[in-house]
């Protein structure tokens, strides 16, 4: 990144997915540890093939794979730079398209705080009173860092700051 006033946000809190992977691996291997269940477990996994085993094998292959994939995922989720605000879900919104922005924050029920950045777009012939909401949580950067970069470009491109509120 050549611009010093830009920020890239990736998924944070990824250590939990590694813990989930090892917990799943422990649960999976637990059937082989108990001597009284070892024979039935070996017969189930390596015995005669049956179509009723498919959901079990899919679940035990999919969940650890998903945990490891999420843990090693280093893709950018949100980028704020001189071109505008880009999100992997919402796409790019340029600074020349916005007339105002606001943000809000609320306590998440289980997975951490939820932050939203509202970009209010200028009216055109095809759109009236439209806003794009960038929603994110579990980030590797603090929300104050992201907001300060957005405030910098808002001042540079004369975009109105509509405030920051805390929702409960």
Please count the structural domains in the chain. 2
d(CA 159, CA 50): 63
Q: What is the pTM of this model?
A: 0.76
Examine residue 1 and state whether it is found in any structural domain, yes or no. Answer: no
Identify the weakest region by mean pLDDT among 26-30, 47-51, 122-126: 26-30
Same domain, 36 and 81: no
The conformation of residue 122, written as its DSSP 8-state character, comes to P
Shared domain for 122 and 40, answered yes or no, is no
Residue pLDDT, tens place only, 116-141: 999 999 998 888 889 999 998 888 99
| Nearest-angstrom CA–CA distance, 44 and 53 | 8
Rounded (5°) CA angle 101-103-104: 155
Mean pLDDT, range 157-166, rounded to an integer: 90
What's the mean pLDDT when you consider all of the chain? 87
- pLDDT value at position 31? 67
Among 72, 96, 111, give the residue marking a domain's end. 72
130: left (phi over 0), alpha (psi -120 to 50) or beta: beta
Write the CATH number for 104.
Answer: 2.30.29
Give the pLDDT band (50/70/90) at residue 1. very low
Residue among 87, 92, 97, 79 at smallest CA distance from 5: 79
Q: Give the residue-averaged pLDDT of 51-72.
A: 85
pLDDT value at residue 141: 92
Q: What is the pLDDT of residues 73-115, one digit of tens each?
A: 999 999 999 999 999 999 999 999 999 999 998 887 776 788 9
> Which pLDDT belongs to residue 3?
61
Domain end residue (candidates: 49, 72, 95): 72
Assign 78 to helix, strand or coil: strand
Whole-Å CA distances, 57 to 43, 47, 89: 14, 13, 31
């Amino acid at each position: 990144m050549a611009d010093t006033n830009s920020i890239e946000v990736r998924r944070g809190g990824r250590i939990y997915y590694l813990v989930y992977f090892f917990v799943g691996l422990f649960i999976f291997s637990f059937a082989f540890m108990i001597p009284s269940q070892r024979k039935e477990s070996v017969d189930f996994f390596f015995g005669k093939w049956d179509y009723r085993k498919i959901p079990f094998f899919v679940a035990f292959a999919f969940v650890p794979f998903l945990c490891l994939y999420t843990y090693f995922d280093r893709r950018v989720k949100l980028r704020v730079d001189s071109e505008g605000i880009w999100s992997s879900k919402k796409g790019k919104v340029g600074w020349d398209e916005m007339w105002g922005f606001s943000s809000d924050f609320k306590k998440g029920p289980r997975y951490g705080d939820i932050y939203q950045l509202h970009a209010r777009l200028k009216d055109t012939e095809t759109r009236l009173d439209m806003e794009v909401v960038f929603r994110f949580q579990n980030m590797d950067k603090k929300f104050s860092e992201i907001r300060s970069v957005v405030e910098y470009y808002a001042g540079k491109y004369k975009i109105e700051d509509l405030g920051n509120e805390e929702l409960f």
